[in-house]
Structures are given as structure tokens and as C-alpha cells.
């Protein structure tokens, strides 16, 4: 089953939110998640997969799987009242793949090769061939119906806005043109000629000719403009007050984490500060949306305003700093000399994980960040999170100068031919240079949303007495700090169901649970001497999964070794990948692939 299907089918959100804003009390209902946390919001619609709520004038989809039994029952009650459950679910279909797995999703469109589905607000294009015959027939029928009904769909009735009711500058409204077509967006501004809106939940801004709008939408724009002018005057007054207020001390790291804020009625919400102007504060509540949500300053209590003002000032301070760049020298690449990425040349930030190339140039460091509230105390000082993996290049030779005892030693880099400038936007890295014996190297790394790839080659100088070999090495670090000082009762909660899953080139996958000693695992001799792939997951990795495997394992060695003195797997292992035929090269066609995904 292709990875895109897993992303569509099994990506789940959990929410952790208490309401900051109120609507009419009669319209608010409590929604509780599986952890017992409750928010007050308005029910909009629902189906078997999710329930849509309205909070602060914006709508969010909450997966049914994250709700308590009481909230599920509440959703079902409202769905039945909304003209019956069949009508509520009419836009959603059950889609089954060739392996029998199913999802509930909304059909968007289809052609001869693909079908586009919307699940939980996201459109995804999938190959038709991955679905069973019944689902493929359904896609063709739905596309046919969609084509024949296209004219009728353009004449749907426009949702009316009560212009005499309570309006909000932060809410999204339907804006209709004279032909009846609508776009949903948040009012930003209106001029003599154009209306400016924020659409797609704040991800895009558009301008619409004012003359093209219907009379009601033009009236709505003018009413919101009057409200905006009043709000700007009030905001300017509050801004003067904020600039002179005493605020709590905050650090750069506080801009990267969630904080608890309260509204004027004492209700709380956990959110990360993003930005602010005189009218509103933009925050991200990660568990319900990755997009920033604007909230009015006057909705917060005095302590929260002070904290938000402190974060606003800190962001301005950080933004005004010019990154300090340390120039390359000798065996050191140029790198950031201050800030979050200090000591790193290249940084790639993915979805809750970060990959960095240090100035040593030997490989990449990988951090995971499940959220500040979930990080152990030992990692809370690092804004990047937990460093769980290192991938690098190791070149070694056998030193026989003793005569009695041969020693394996590592070739040291003495210089780089050139250094890439420090960057937060680089997908391919090629480093070339020299070792202390005059030999040369070429290290190659590719990093993107699909994962990482590594390949390399080296060359010894003519007449080298002790030949050099190279390999790609993956270090999976120990997951329990200061383990020597801890009893097993304190270790077990930290390792939970963590495990390495190793697939040999021949035979079945073998699980190495973290809570068993190596000696008790009783791995058959030779069973894991040659590997096809390794997966890493479980409690210490939160909702992440590491996958390490060759692009093509033919004529390659891929094996593991225990950490020195390690008694349990949770103390870490090393994976080594090299060529059987030419130990001076890991070819690009046989590169090592590493991915970090969410389960």
C-alpha cells in the first residue's frame, strides 16, 4: 500500500483546547476529547468520520475517534436533528482499497487514472488502481453525475448573513457576486474599488472588485469597515498602554512553545504565539490547526495580555538580529554562530522534526519534537527537541604501526574544497575535501519531505600503505538519559513499547523490544547478520517512525552492532552500510534511504 494512502487514511488529530471566546450561550455546547479536556463551541455538521464545530467564528473538523462517548452521542443527536443521518452523510462515501482497507471521504473528481478525495478538509489525488473494482465504478458514476449536474451546482442558494446581527472582524463570511457564486473569507479591508479577503483559513489573500459583489456583500463590507475603524482606534489606545506595561521575562525558546492564556471570563487555552498587530494576536493551536488563528487583544485577561506583549517584543527583538555567520576554516564549514541553529551549516525543518548538518560536515543530526508539553525535562532546553538519530560517513583504515597489535582508526578531515553558505532551504548537499593522508572524499546527502538519501566515494593517494574504506553509519541513540543511576521501575515508563524491528535479507522480521536484555532476546545466530531494512517506533519516539533501508541492497553490506557496554536495546545501536565489492564507494544507485514519518 502506497504511503500517500496511509497519509490520507490514518492521519489523526487530537485536540486540546479551552474556549477563549464566547457566542450566544444557547449556541455553545461542550465537546470533550478522550483525555477529558473540554471546549465550548457551536455544532455545524457531522458525519461518521468527523464533527465540524465553530469556534471564534472559524470552523474546525474534529475526528470522531478523538471524542469522548458523551461528545459522540451529542454529535449523533445533532446530526439526526439536521434533517436525518442519511442527509448528513450524503456527501461522504466509503472507499475500499485492494487490500480491503476503507476510509470515509468526499468525492471531488475523477479521470481515467486518478480520483481526488477530500478527507477532513484535505484534497488528495490517488491512483484509481489502488481501489477495488466497486470503488472504481463508484468513482466513474460520481464523476458522471457531477458533470451532468454542474450547471445546477452553480446556482446553489447563497447563505444569508444577518447584517443587523452581531458581526465579527475575525469571522469568515460568504461573499457573493451578482451571479450568486460565493467565496468564504475573513474581511481584511475595503477600498473604493476592491475588497480584500483572507481565505483558506488564512493561507491566502485575495482582492475582489467591489462592483462584482452582490448588494448584501457590499453592505457587509461597509459595515465591517466601520467596525474596523472603531477597532483600530481602540487598538491604538491599547497599544500605547501595552508599550508601557511591565511584562514577564521570556526567552527566544518561548517563541517556539505553547503557553497557557486566559480570556476575560477565566477560560483557558494552550497556544503558540505567532505574531501581533494593534488589532489582534495570531496564535497556533497545533492540535486543531497548523494555521494561525487571529484573536482580539481585548478578549484576553490582563496577565495574558502582558505575556503576549512580552512575546511580541521578543519576536521583534529576534527579528531585528542579523544571523551571525562564522566563516569556513580548515576542517570546519561555515555555520550559524547564534540563535536556534547555532553550530549548524544547513537545517531542514519538517513536520515536527528537524534535520541539521553541523559544521564538522560528517553527517546529519535528526531531532523529533512531539510538543513542548510532551518533552522530558532533559530536552526542554533545546528548541529543536530530542535528538534521536545521527546519520554520517565514516572512513577508516587499519593502523599496523605497532607491529604486535593492529588498530582500526578513523581518517580525519583536514580541509573542505569549499563550504556551502549556511542555509535553511537546501535539499542537496555535496561536500568534497581531503583527509590527513592526502586522500580525497565526496559526501552526498539529499533531504526533502520524502526522506533522506546518502552516498559517497573516497580515494587514497598513490602508494597509500594502509588503504581506507568508507561506509554510511546510522546511530540510533539511547533513549534514557543517565540510565546508570536509574532503577528499572523508573526506566520502564520511558521506554514503554519502544522497539527496533529488523528485517533480514532472508527470513521474517524480528522485533527487539526495549524492555528485554540482549542476552534474553535469544536471536538465532546469523539471523540478523544481513539486513534488508530497520524500523524504529514506540513510546520514546512518540508518534514518529524511523525507517532505514538500502535503495538497492545488491552487493551491499547492511548490519547492526550494539552500543559499547549496552545491556538493553534502548541504550542504542549502530547500523553500518557499505559495499561488498568496492569498499571505497557507496554508489548513488545503492544509496541508503532514511525517513521520518508519522504513524
Look at residue 211 in the predicted model and tell me its pLDDT.
86
- The answer on pLDDT for 592 being more than 90 is yes
pLDDT digits (tens, 9 = 90+) for 550-590: 999 999 999 999 876 788 999 999 999 999 999 999 999 99
| Mean pLDDT in residue range 499-514 | 95
CB count within 10 Å of CB 44 equals 14
| Mean pLDDT in residue range 184-191 | 87
Look at residue 456 in the predicted model and tell me its pLDDT.
97
Look at residue 56 in the predicted model and tell me its pLDDT.
66
* Matching residue, cell 479577503: 197
| Alpha-carbon span 127 to 54, nearest angstrom | 34
323 or 151, greater pLDDT? 323
Look at residue 360 in the predicted model and tell me its pLDDT.
95
Percent share of the chain, pLDDT over 90: 39
| Mean pLDDT in residue range 202-209 | 70
| Alpha-carbon span 555 to 568, nearest angstrom | 31
Q: What number does CATH give the domain 3-153?
A: 2.30.30.700
3-state secondary structure 406-450: CEEEECCEEEECCCCCCECCCCEEEEEEEECCCCEEEEEEEEECC
CA atoms within 13 A on the CB side of 303: 9
In 3D, which of 55, 52, 130 has the Cα closest to residue 92?
52
Backbone angles phi, psi at 327, to 5 degrees: -70, 155
| Alpha-carbon span 562 to 577, nearest angstrom | 15
- The answer on pLDDT for 384 being more than 90 is no
138 or 530, greater pLDDT? 530
Give me the architecture of the 245-320 domain, per CATH: Roll (2.30)
Look at residue 153 in the predicted model and tell me its pLDDT.
40
Q: Which range, 26-35, 363-372, 470-479, is most confident?
A: 470-479
| Mean pLDDT in residue range 149-159 | 45
- The answer on pLDDT for 177 being more than 70 is yes
* pTM, 2 dp: 0.51
Look at residue 491 in the predicted model and tell me its pLDDT.
87
Which CATH fold would you assign to the domain 172-242?
SH3 type barrels. (2.30.30)
Look at residue 552 in the predicted model and tell me its pLDDT.
93
In 3D, which of 476, 507, 330, 501 has the Cα closest to residue 392?
476
- What CA dihedral angle connects 259, 38, 297 and 384, to 10 degrees? 20
**pLDDT band for position 25 (cuts 50, 70, 90):** very low
Percent share of the chain, pLDDT over 70: 85
Q: Which range, 49-63, 75-89, 264-278, 356-370, is most confident?
A: 356-370
| Alpha-carbon span 366 to 385, nearest angstrom | 10
What sign has the CA pseudo-torsion 231, 233, 239, 242? Answer: negative
**pLDDT band for position 591 (cuts 50, 70, 90):** very high
| Mean pLDDT in residue range 322-326 | 84
Q: Under DSSP, is residue 568 helix (H, G, I), strand (E, B) or coil?
A: coil
pLDDT digits (tens, 9 = 90+) for 394-417: 999 999 988 888 999 999 999 999
| Mean pLDDT in residue range 522-529 | 90
Q: Average pLDDT over the chain, rounded to whole?
A: 82
3-state secondary structure 280-348: EEEEECCCCCCCCEEEEHHHECHHHHHHHHHHHHHHHHHHHCCCCEECCECCECCEECCCCCCCEEEEE
| Alpha-carbon span 366 to 369, nearest angstrom | 10
pLDDT digits (tens, 9 = 90+) for 224-238: 999 888 888 887 888
Q: Do 353 and 338 touch, CB atoms closer than 8 A?
A: no
| Mean pLDDT in residue range 289-309 | 84
Look at residue 251 in the predicted model and tell me its pLDDT.
92
Look at residue 239 in the predicted model and tell me its pLDDT.
80
pLDDT digits (tens, 9 = 90+) for 8-23: 333 332 233 333 333 3
Look at residue 291 in the predicted model and tell me its pLDDT.
66
Amino acid at each position: 500500500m502506497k504511503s500517500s494512502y496511509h497519509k490520507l487514511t490514518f492521519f489523526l488529530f487530537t485536540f486540546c483546547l479551552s474556549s477563549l471566546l464566547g457566542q450566544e450561550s444557547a449556541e455553545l455546547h461542550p465537546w470533550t476529547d478522550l483525555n477529558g479536556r473540554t471546549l465550548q463551541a457551536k455544532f455545524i455538521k457531522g458525519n461518521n468520520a468527523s464533527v465540524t464545530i465553530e469556534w471564534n467564528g472559524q470552523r474546525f473538523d474534529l475526528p470522531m475517534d478523538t471524542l469522548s462517548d458523551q461528545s459522540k452521542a451529542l454529535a449523533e443527536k445533532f446530526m439526526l436533528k439536521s434533517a436525518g443521518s442519511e442527509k448528513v452523510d450524503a456527501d461522504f462515501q466509503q472507499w475500499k482499497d485492494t487490500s480491503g482497507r476503507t476510509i470515509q471521504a468526499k468525492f471531488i473528481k475523477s479521470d481515467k487514472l486518478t480520483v481526488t478525495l477530500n478527507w477532513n478538509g484535505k484534497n488528495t489525488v490517488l491512483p484509481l488502481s489502488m481501489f477495488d473494482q466497486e470503488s472504481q465504478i463508484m468513482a466513474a458514476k460520481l464523476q458522471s453525475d457531477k458533470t451532468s449536474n454542474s450547471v445546477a451546482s452553480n446556482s446553489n442558494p447563497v447563505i444569508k448573513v444577518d447584517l443587523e446581527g452581531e458581526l465579527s472582524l475575525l469571522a469568515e463570511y460568504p461573499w457573493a457576486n451578482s451571479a450568486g457564486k460565493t467565496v468564504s473569507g475573513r474581511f481584511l479591508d475595503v477600498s473604493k474599488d476592491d475588497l480584500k479577503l483572507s481565505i483558506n483559513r488564512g493561507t491566502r489573500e485575495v482582492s475582489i472588485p467591489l462592483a462584482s459583489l452582490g448588494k448584501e456583500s457590499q453592505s457587509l463590507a461597509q459595515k465591517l469597515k466601520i467596525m474596523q475603524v472603531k477597532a483600530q482606534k481602540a487598538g491604538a489606545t491599547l497599544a500605547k498602554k501595552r508599550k508601557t506595561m511591565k511584562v514577564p521575562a521570556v526567552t527566544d525558546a518561548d517563541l517556539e512553545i505553547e503557553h497557557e492564556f486566559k480570556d476575560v471570563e477565566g477560560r483557558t487555552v494552550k497556544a503558540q504565539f505567532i505574531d501581533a498587530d494593534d488589532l489582534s494576536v495570531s496564535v497556533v493551536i497545533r492540535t486543531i490547526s497548523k494555521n494561525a488563528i487571529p484573536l482580539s487583544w481585548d478578549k484576553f485577561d490582563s496577565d495574558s495580555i502582558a505575556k503576549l506583549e512580552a512575546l511580541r517584543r521578543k519576536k521583534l527583538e529576534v527579528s531585528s538580529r542579523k544571523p551571525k555567520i562564522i566563516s569556513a576554516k580548515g576542517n570546519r564549514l561555515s555555520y550559524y554562530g547564534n540563535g536556534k541553529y547555532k553550530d549548524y551549516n544547513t537545517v531542514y525543518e519538517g513536520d515536527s522534526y528537524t534535520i541539521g548538518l553541523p559544521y564538522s560536515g560528517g553527517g546529519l543530526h535528526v531531532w523529533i519534537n512531539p510538543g513542548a508539553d510532551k518533552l522530558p525535562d532533559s530536552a526542554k532546553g533545546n528548541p529543536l527537541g530530542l535528538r534521536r538519530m545521527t546519520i554520517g560517513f565514516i572512513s577508516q583504515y587499519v593502523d599496523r604501526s605497532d607491529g604486535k597489535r593492529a588498530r582500526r582508526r578513523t581518517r580525519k578531515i583536514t580541509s573542505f574544497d569549499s563550504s556551502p553558505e549556511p542555509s535553511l532551504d537546501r535539499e542537496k548537499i555535496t561536500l568534497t575535501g581531503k583527509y590527513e593522508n592526502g586522500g580525497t572524499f565526496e559526501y552526498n546527502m539529499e533531504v526533502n519531505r520524502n526522506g533522506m538519501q546518502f552516498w559517497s566515494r573516497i580515494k587514497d593517494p598513490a602508494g597509500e600503505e594502509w588503504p581506507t574504506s568508507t561506509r554510511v553509519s546510522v546511530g540510533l541513540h539511547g533513549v534514557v538519559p543517565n540510565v546508570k543511576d536509574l532503577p528499572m521501575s523508573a526506566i520502564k515508563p520511558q521506554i514503554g513499547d519502544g522497539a527496533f524491528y529488523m528485517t533480514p535479507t532472508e527470513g521474517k522480521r524480528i522485533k527487539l523490544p526495549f524492555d528485554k536484555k540482549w542476552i534474553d532476546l535469544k536471536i538465532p545466530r546469523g539471523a540478523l547478520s544481513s539486513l534488508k531494512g530497520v524500523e524504529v517506533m514506540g513510546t520514546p519516539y512518540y508518534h514518529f517512525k524511523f525507517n532505514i533501508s538500502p535503495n538497492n541492497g545488491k552487493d551491499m553490506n547492511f548490519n547492526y552492532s550494539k552500543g559499547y557496554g549496552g545491556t538493553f536495546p534502548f541504550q542504542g545501536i549502530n547500523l553500518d552500510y557499505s559495499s561488498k565489492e568496492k569498499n571505497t564507494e557507496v554508489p548513488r544507485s545503492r544509496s541508503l534511504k532514511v525517513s521520518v514519518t508519522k504513524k
